[in-house]
Amino acid sequence: MKHSTFFWFVLPSAILMLAFIALPIVSIVTQSLYTSHEQVLVTVENCGPFGCTEVTSVDQDATQALKAAEPLGKWAGLDVYKDRNHLAVAEVASAWVNADGLPDFGRTLMNLPFYAALAFTLTYTFIVTPLTIVLGFFIAVAVNAVAKALKGPTIFLTLLPFIVTPLVGSLIIFWMVDARGILGTGLQWLADDPTLSVKASTPLMWIMLMFYGIWHSAPFAFVVFYAGLQTVNTDSLEAAMIDGANRWERIRYVVIPHLFPLVTFVALIQLMDNFRVFEPIVSFSAYAHANSLSIAIFNDLGGETRLLSSAAATSVLTIIGVAILLSPVLVRTYRDFSNPR
């Protein structure tokens, strides 16, 4: 391709990527390096229906003057990243020195909001992603074997969990696992424990969230693998049959190698999605048991006082996390493309 043709060909996507990917990243990185100005506090009298009190208030004129002088805020460097609500550098260092053994250090670490959120996010990502791929693959193989007349309806029903809005889907499961819901009561009967409550137990809540994650995204893996199955070379399959390969051996030695590039693709998408786990925690009201980086960002922006720098810092850390997670997959893809077989 001529250079000029190539240039004009990629220009629109390059502009869009610059505007919608690069600039927002520059914006959050900048935001995370600045904090709010020092607030000038004054004591004033505050009166209302319940009488008058002396309260501390922000001196608007003085604070506005500071803001006008430096609209970006106060330069903070990496202070926000290092504070207790993020990487908690000082706290981790002192815990390392003072901890009574590794388990004690772990407990202190899990008491810090960022590490607690990271622990759940990573556990979720590394359990949900492989199980989604395996389950999606088996559904695809099973659906592929269904009689032709039933295929359409089966595919539609299998896709339903993916079609249902995540918030709605998880809310429905949330009420089903309630101690008085159908699944909750069923679990109590199975465990023979009338006080068992999924919502009150941290381990059960984690299992519930991951179960939901797999239930919700397995159809995505299914649809990709199902499409891939349609392209499996029937000649190779027949050859394998003639060689005496049974169904499992055909799947293991013909189908799986053929679908492997798709596994990379699904893993890539799922790793990114699962690292940003958000909706299930909201609809399961699981704040007391599980937190994720996205929830931390949401809380920073949703409170009565918006913590912009804090949210920006967590966003940057999320991007770094996604980059680290994806690097093995990306390196592999790069090698596949640069070394033509």
Partner 1 sequence: MKLFKYAALGTATAVLMGTSAMAAGHGCNVTEGRINIVGNEFPAIQSVAAAAIGCASGIEAESNLTADHQKINVAGMTGNPAEYTSAIVANSSIVALINEDVVRPLDDLIAAYGQDIPTRQLITIDGKVMAVAFMANAQHLVYRSDVLEQIGMDVPTSYEDVLAAAEKIRAEGIMENPVGGAYAAGWNLAEEFVNMYLGTGGAFFEPGTANVSINNEQGVEALEMMKALTAYMNPDYLTHDSNATSAEWEAGNVALMNMWGSRTGVLMDDEGSEEVVYSNTVAGGPLTVGDSSVAASTLWWDGWTVAKNISDEEAAATFQALAHATSPALLNDETMSQAVWLMDGFDAQPVNEGVLATVAAGANPYPMLPFMGLLHTALGDNIADFLQGNESAEQALMDIEAAYTASATEQGFLQ
What's the CA gap between 332 and 33, in Å, rounded?
A: 34
CB of 285 to partner 1, least distance (A): 4
CB contact at 8 A, 114 and 88: yes
Side chain identity, residue 294 = S
What's the CA gap between 327 and 79, in Å, rounded?
A: 27
Site for partner 1 in 272-301 (CB under 8 A): 284-289, 299, 301
**Site membership for partner 1, residue 186 (CB under 8 A):** no
- Contact range with partner 1 by CB under 8 A, out of 29-37, 142-150, 159-167, 210-218: 29-37
Minimum CB distance to partner 1 smaller for 91 or for 135 = 91
Minimum CB distance to partner 1 smaller for 104 or for 336 = 104
Burial 39-52 (b: 16+ CB within 10 A, else e): eeeeeeeeeeeeee
**Site membership for partner 1, residue 111 (CB under 8 A):** yes
CB of 71 to partner 1, least distance (A): 13
- Contact range with partner 1 by CB under 8 A, out of 11-19, 39-47, 157-165, 208-216: 39-47
3-state percent helix, strand, coil for the chain, nearest multiple of 5:
75, 5, 20
Burial 4-16 (b: 16+ CB within 10 A, else e): eeeeeeeeeeeee
CB of 147 to partner 1, least distance (A): 42
For residue 304, give every residue at least 6 positions away whose Cβ sits within 8 Å of its Cβ, in sequence order, or none: none
Residue 134 is classified by DSSP as H
CB of 89 to partner 1, least distance (A): 12
Taking CB under 8 A as the criterion, the residue among 302, 328, 331, 332 binding partner 1 is 302
In the shown chain, the binding pattern of residues 79 to 108 toward partner 1, with x for contact by CB under 8 A and - for none, equals -x--xxx-----x-----------------
Give 80: exposed, middle or buried? Use CB within 10 Å, 0-12, 13-18, 19+.
buried
Q: Which residues sit at the interface with partner 1, rule CB under 8 A?
A: 35-39, 41-51, 53, 55-58, 60, 64, 74, 76, 80, 83-85, 91, 111, 113, 178-179, 195, 197, 199-200, 202, 284-289, 299, 301-307, 309-310
